Amino acid sequence: MEENIIINKLFRLANKAYNKGEIPVSALLIRNNKIVAQAYNQKEKKYDITAHAEILTIKKSAKKLRRWNLSDCDLYVTLKPCSMCMEIIKQSRIRNVFYLLDKLDYKHDFTKTKLQKINYDLDKENYQQLLSKFFQNMR
């Protein structure tokens, strides 16, 4: 698929998001030179912090292709994916991510949340065994 077509589609979707009061970010997932799915941010509409364009596009693609592994697909986005989206992209095994702009300078990451490990040894070993057993069964 021609890059001009992809970029024009991304701009149209970003404008649609903007007109609906959403952050104007959009994404397309391409497989075999065809659009599998597309989306724009819908965090405000859905009252859902995870409703970023990338995640919505990945979810639609996985449903349409009936698989979570998207290793034969490329993702195109208008803005460099945030850390949450990048982790979902990595987990879905997407081959390449192409983006138009880096994160805006005035857009800051929120780092007020503290991550703390629970110091509780009672069932830690049982949980570790459960995880190990699950992944052994997957092989």
Which of the residues 44, 54, 87, 125 is marked catalytic? Answer: 54
Beta bridge partners of 26: 40
Instruction: Return the amino acid letter for 98.
Output: F
Active site residue 54: yes
DSSP β-bridge partners for residue 99: 77
Distances (CA, A) of 71 to 26, 57, 103: 20, 15, 25
Q: In 3D, which of 53, 24, 21 has the Cα closest to residue 37?
A: 53
Region of 124 (left: φ > 0; alpha: ψ -120 to 50; beta: rest) is: alpha
For the annotated catalytic residues, the residue numbers are 54
